[in-house]
Amino acid sequence: MDTSAEEIAMDIPNLVRVYKDGHFEKFYVPDIVPTGIDPSTGVNSKDVVYSPETNMFVRLYIPKNATPTRKLPLLIFFHGGGFIIESAASSLYHNFHNLLVSEANIVAVSVEYRLAPEFQLPIPYEDSWEAIKWVEKHVNGTGPEPWLNDYVDFEKVFLAGDSAGGNIAHHMSIRVGSNTLDAMRFQGAILLHPYFWGKERVGTESEWMEPTMVSYLDSIWDMVKPEGSPGMDDPLINPDLDPRIAGMGVSKMLVCVAGDDFMRERDRNYKKVIENCEWKGKLEVAEDKGEGHVFFLKNPSSKNAISLRTRVSTFINKT
């Protein structure tokens, strides 16, 4: 009798359980919401498939006052979720983009990418890069999506993401530095509580991080890492060990840290890594004291969440 359907191969509590026969259960299911005009901000949104082969899509957002006579900055955003959960169509990210697009007066492209355990890295990176290349088709105003043709200033493109999406934004910044994208100028990258990790503890992690938390974060990387990965010190998750980091193709970067985040020491350490490499851009780091991981998604009307969105808006629109 085959018992593999019942035998557990890997279990990450409250997140996902994988069985030896390959099937799995995810314990978090995002609240998927439709597109359309948001009644509180007037922001309009729609989903467009960027990869017919994989059926991956982007959720596009334009502000209420969008007009072809005034081109707007473009934000390409990658959602978080540990490479395992969440969606560009979830209520958390949809609400965040409605607010940010309205407040910053920008166009946003929120990218859906394939997730583990079905699809391990580098698939999320490859999907994200394919989405960027799809956006590139619009630089001459002749791409397949009218909103990008009509409303975007491709001289003002920004990469952004939270948590695992911040990790993706970091790696896409490196990739645009080594690839020529026709007439797209990547002005900056915005990393919101980015997901980095490593074998050795950094900063004060050894003083407060419980072994159970270390094991939990280790297990997430074990599930999503690419075949042949060296483990916790893979440059994909540990930027300290990435020799390509100085080649990031953006001229400025904003890193937002949450003071009570379990990733806080990694994000503070990322600042040191950037400052010590030979990247020639300008780094801005801001920390919200007393806040947890991606708090701005969970409580968007809080004072600090409003402040974070203002910070991002100012970073994008600053000349």
Residues with catalytic function: 163, 261, 293
What is the spatial distance between Cα 184 and Cα 171, in angstroms, rounded to a whole number?
17
- Residues with Cβ within 8 Å of residue 40, at least 6 apart in sequence: 98
What is the spatial distance between Cα 191 and Cα 195, in angstroms, rounded to a whole number?
9
CB atoms within 10 A of CB 243: 8
Check residue 83 and give left, alpha or beta (phi > 0: left; psi -120 to 50: alpha). left
* CA 315 to each of CA 169, 190, 193, 238, 286: distance values in angstroms, whole numbers, following the listed order: 16, 9, 16, 26, 12
CB atoms within 10 A of CB 246: 15
The residue behind tokens 């896409």 is: 172
Look at residues 33, 32, 2 and name the one whose alpha carbon lies nearest to residue 19: 2
- Amino acid letter, residue 46: K
Q: What are φ and ψ of residue 301, in 5° steps?
A: -95, 0
Pairing verdict, β 282-288 and 186-192: unpaired
What is the spatial distance between Cα 111 and Cα 161, in angstroms, rounded to a whole number?
10
Contact indicator for 188, 251 with CB cutoff of 8 Å: yes
Contact indicator for 297, 223 with CB cutoff of 8 Å: no
* CA 62 to each of CA 27, 50, 156, 184: distance values in angstroms, whole numbers, following the listed order: 33, 18, 15, 19
Burial classification of residue 74, based on how many CB atoms lie within 10 Å of its CB (0-12 exposed, 13-18 middle, 19 or more buried): buried
What is the spatial distance between Cα 201 and Cα 213, in angstroms, rounded to a whole number?
12
